[in-house]
Amino acid sequence: MTAPADHTCYLEKSPDWPSGYAAWLPKRVASIRSVGYTLVDLVRRGLLDAAAVELFSEQTLLADFAWRVLWVDEEKTPDAESLADKFRYAEGFLIFIHGWVGSGDIWEDLPALVLKRNPKLIALIPDVNGFGGTPFKTPLPPIDKCDPPANMRAVELWLDMLGIRQADCPYKRPFIFVGHSMGAASVFFLDTENWEARESGRIALAPALLMNDRQRQRLYKTLGTGIRISGWSDTIDHFVERIIAPRLIAALAGAGSSLHVRAQHKRIFDMTPEGVIAQTFAAMGQLEAQFDNQEWPDFITFLGDKDVLVGLQPTLDLLLSINFRREQIRIVQGDHYFFSVGGAAEKHRGNRDLVVEDILAMQSTMSSALQE
């Protein structure tokens, strides 16, 4: 195949939905633009097919699905037409998937730092199953709608609806899924049969895969039970609100996270139905999966050496047992948010730089392979 020239068009026409953003969102990094969307709002505007969104809702039990789009706008022309054209000509997409009791805001400036290095990419940052702008239809969803496989399934169905992959296009571009915590566990369940070779890549930051860690599995099952029984009495409610919640948020954020990340976890915890939080933790504690992959192409995993939520040695043992190569595993200094930006977390600058470099290198390698 002849390599695509500059400004290659990867879609026959621009999708309609980018013009339907619900809000411009502030970004601290110069020339980075950010806009927000929800499925329900796009249907209301007539920019997405209502039947397709309804089917998505039936399959996932989600009442809505929210996301942000980030891109570099050096020409300072933030209009609907220029944004839609970005989707036709972008050389690749980065999908950032947050973890439990979080939202797309936990990524802080990390997506923007990648885009500054390669302005030809677009970042998509969803709120995922049950959190932020993506609530469930019910306050107590089934556990199998809250676990990492369901999380990844919802993300893939959402991408299908966006129409940014065109099957008959002679040129393909890479989609790189960057996950953290439960979001990192989710990327292990990407349905690779739906993607061409070298079209999908994965980077997992502190993946909460606990199948090899019975002690932490019991902990998350217990947390789920403790949160779920709140509401039975004032004493139990007091225990959950004053004891479990603060300690849970502190553990989720970790000592190395910024004040912004901690505030986001507190905000999401407060706004999310207790049943959703409980079922999500129970799902992590019950997750069992058999991976028969002989290899994991275009996949890199990062582990923090002081991560109390995701044990270093059990996770390392698990990765090696499922045929990860040692060169695909990065062990860095830090806890669960070893990449966090701002405040005391500036000591994580080297970790962020390594994550950014790996994302860019993966995208470049995959793009070259797809053009051959």
pTM for the full model? 0.92
* Whether pLDDT at 3 is above 50: no
At residue 198, the pLDDT reads: 94
237-270: per-residue pLDDT in tens? 444 454 455 566 666 666 678 888 888 988 998 8
pLDDT band at 233 (very low <50, low <70, confident <90, very high): very low
**Phi/psi at 67 (nearest 5 deg)?**
-155, 165
* Whether pLDDT at 96 is above 60: yes
* Whether pLDDT at 339 is above 60: yes
pLDDT band at 116 (very low <50, low <70, confident <90, very high): very high
The pairing of beta strand 299-304 with beta strand 200-205: parallel
Query: Is 31 part of a structural domain of the chain?
Result: yes
Query: Is 234 part of a structural domain of the chain?
Result: no
Query: Is 59 part of a structural domain of the chain?
Result: yes
Q: Looking at the 3D structure of the chain, how many domains does it have? A: 1
* Whether pLDDT at 290 is above 60: yes
CA-CA distance, 79 to 59, in Å (whole number)? 34
Domain that holds residue 314: 17-213+289-371
Query: Is 262 part of a structural domain of the chain?
Result: no
Query: Is 244 part of a structural domain of the chain?
Result: no
At residue 299, the pLDDT reads: 98
Query: Is 297 part of a structural domain of the chain?
Result: yes
Q: What is the mean pLDDT of residues 43-64?
A: 97
Query: Is 353 part of a structural domain of the chain?
Result: yes
Cα dihedral sign, 233-235-237-240: negative
- Which CATH number belongs to the domain containing residue 152 in this structure? 3.40.50.1820
pLDDT band at 78 (very low <50, low <70, confident <90, very high): low
- More confident site: 232 or 76: 76
Residue type, 181: S
Of the candidate ranges 80-94, 105-119, 320-334, the one whose mean pLDDT is the lowest = 80-94
Sheet holding 121-126, edge to edge: 23-24, 32-38, 66-72, 121-126, 92-97, 175-180, 200-205, 299-304, 329-332
160-189: per-residue pLDDT in tens? 999 998 766 778 899 999 999 999 999 999
Query: Is 265 part of a structural domain of the chain?
Result: no
Give the distance from CA 198 to its chain's centroid: 20
